[in-house]
Amino acid sequence: MAVTEPAPPAQPVAHEGILRRQSLRESAARTYARSLPIVPVRARGLTIEGADGRRYLDCLSGAGTLALGHNHPVVLEAIKKVLASGAPLHVLDLATPVKDAFTTELFATLPRQLADDARIQFCGPAGTDAVEAALKLVRTATGRTGLLAFTGAYHGMTAGALDASGGATDVRVTRLPFPQNYRCPFGVGGERGAELAARWTENLLDDPKGGVPAPAGMILEPVQGEGGVIPAPDGWLRRMREITASRSVPLIADEVQTGVGRTGAFWAVEHSGIVPDVMVLSKAIGGSLPLAVIVYRADLDVWQPGAHAGTFRGNQLAMAAGAATLSFVRENRLAERAATLGARMLGQLQGLAAAHRCIGDVRGRGLMIGVELVNPDSDDTRADVPPADPVLAAAVQRECLRRGLIVELGGRHSGVVRLLPPLTLTDEQAQAVLDRFADSLEAAVSAPHLRHDTGPSQ
């Protein structure tokens, strides 16, 4: 399924019946199915083939889960090997050769200062459960209950993870400013904006009248994904590490989406050189199958047996697929490849922005890229930059789909088009992605009526 292969003619639309039944049967909470009305039946690498015979370039990658793309041979072989061996597929948290191999490979990739004295907790299969475990861990270890989190954060959909996320309505954590260049909360951006954000955090923690008791931990994303693909400045991350370390506050790095080479380093914290006390890992570590863990300093390991458990924390197939993925990324230097190719793609997108006023900002790190679309003709003079244009972003997403490109939206107002291609992306595929995106943007901008074409809602 090469990029340049033409898609076959549309087949009889049996897929429409599947989409209709999904709409009738599934929860109103379904998400991706609404903006991506396709029925995948085959997939390999970057490419998905739908039941209607159309082919798509997948720059969603399971929300960043598919580091090697769909059905990579090393992943399939690892799964087949476990199936053929007769090994048990469900073992709770018992030790197995498959788990041992996964843990060994994972520890080989971690920042050495953490790996040399670390413990690992296997959690329920979703990243949000690992976030819950991390919060529970630091609260148990410190005897405190408060939490420091950041504006724009996304840590999952369970209650505790939602409390720490930017969309929380029943706030139980102290919310701190996350530095941004384009929409800086202090109106200055750059190093000065990051410095002000750090000073705000430090002053708030040290102010006896600040209303913030000593917290159990601080949780942050090295690159905010759902928040709009906003990389944390390296200097600011180092300040957060200094601030937390000097106050005995455990630092939790949520690497659920940024890990396994996505940002151009194996783990995104490596860009800044910091070593967190806890790392939350999921998505790509399971090689496309459900798996989530936390890795943390041994001295935090004070909870009692069963303090955090889950029936499906022993997913043998995911551990095998994950070990194969971690090894392949490490041995083939795919993190370095992501850094090089991502920088090239960012450069081309910035060139596109120079020709389109509706592109407010292009940002990201490695193959975690965001393009913020704005309304440059808005008469709102209250902000330093134009407001986000979620209607245009949705139109661009629909035009991308019509051209066989799957992208996702994010950001505060869903005005950021997000690109999360697999790390195995070739130069030819990268160019095809950019060409289709540019064509889609042009179509959405030049035909305003397309902005009101909501398309099928499934």
* Average pLDDT rounded to a whole number, residues 203-221: 92
pLDDT higher than threshold 90 for residue 429: yes
What is the mean predicted confidence (pLDDT) over 347-372? 97
The reported pLDDT for the residue numbered 168 is 61
Share of the chain above pLDDT 90, in %: 79
Q: Per residue in 171-203, pLDDT tens?
A: 578 889 999 999 999 999 999 999 999 999 999
d(CA 223, CA 267): 11
pLDDT in tens, 2-48: 554 444 544 545 778 888 998 889 898 888 888 888 999 999 999 99
Measured CA to CA, the distance from residue 56 to residue 378 in angstroms comes to 34
Record the pTM.
Answer: 0.93
Give a three-class secondary structure readout of the chain.
Answer: CCCCCCCCCCCCCHHHHHHHHHHHHCCCCCCHHHHCCCCEEEEEECEEEECCCCEEEECCHHHHCCCCCECCHHHHHHHHHHHHHCCCCCCCCCCCHHHHHHHHHHHHHCCHHHHCCEEEEECCCCHHHHHHHHHHHHHHHHCCCCEEEECCCCCCCCHHHHHCCCCCCCCCCEEECCCCCCCCCCCCCHHHHHHHHHHHHHHHHHCCCCCCCCCCEEEECCEECCCCCEECCHHHHHHHHHHHHHCCCCEEEECCCCCCCCCCCCCHHHHCCCCCCEEEECHHHHCCCCCCEEEEEHHHCCCCCCCCCCCCCCCHHHHHHHHHHHHHHHHCCHHHHHHHHHHHHHHHHHHHHHCCCCEEEEEEECCEEEEEEECCCCCCCCCCCCCECHHHHHHHHHHHHHCCEECEEECCCCCEEEECCCCCCCHHHHHHHHHHHHHHHHHHHHCHHHHHCCCCCC
Per-residue confidence at 157, pLDDT binned at 50, 70, 90?
Answer: confident
Kindly report, residue by residue over 37-77, the tens digit of the pLDDT: 899 999 999 999 999 899 999 999 999 999 999 999 999 99
Closest-CA residue to 64 (of 349, 323, 256): 256
Condensed to tens digits (0 to 9), the pLDDT of residues 218-265 reads 999 999 999 999 999 999 999 999 999 999 999 999 999 999 999 999
Strands 408-410 and 416-419: antiparallel
Average pLDDT, integer, range 277-288: 97
For helices 334-354 and 427-446, the axis angle rounded to 10 degrees is 30
For the segment 74-98, the average pLDDT, to the nearest whole number, is 96
- Provide the pLDDT for residue 255: 98
CB 257 within 8 A of CB 419: no
Burial 288-324 (b: 16+ CB within 10 A, else e): bbbbbbbbbbeebeeeeeeebebebbbbbbbbbbbbb
Please give the pLDDT value at position 449: 60
Query: How far is it, in rounded angstroms, from Cα 301 to Cα 46?
Result: 40
Residue 100 has pLDDT above 50, yes or no: yes
d(CA 186, CA 199): 12
What is the sign of the dihedral through the CA atoms of 223, 227, 229 and 235?
negative
What's the rounded Cα separation, in Å, for the pair 39 and 236? 43
Residue 417 has pLDDT above 70, yes or no: yes
The confidence score (pLDDT) of residue 234 equals: 97
The pLDDT of residue 166 is above 90: no
What are the tens digits of pLDDT across the range 20-32? 998 889 898 888 8
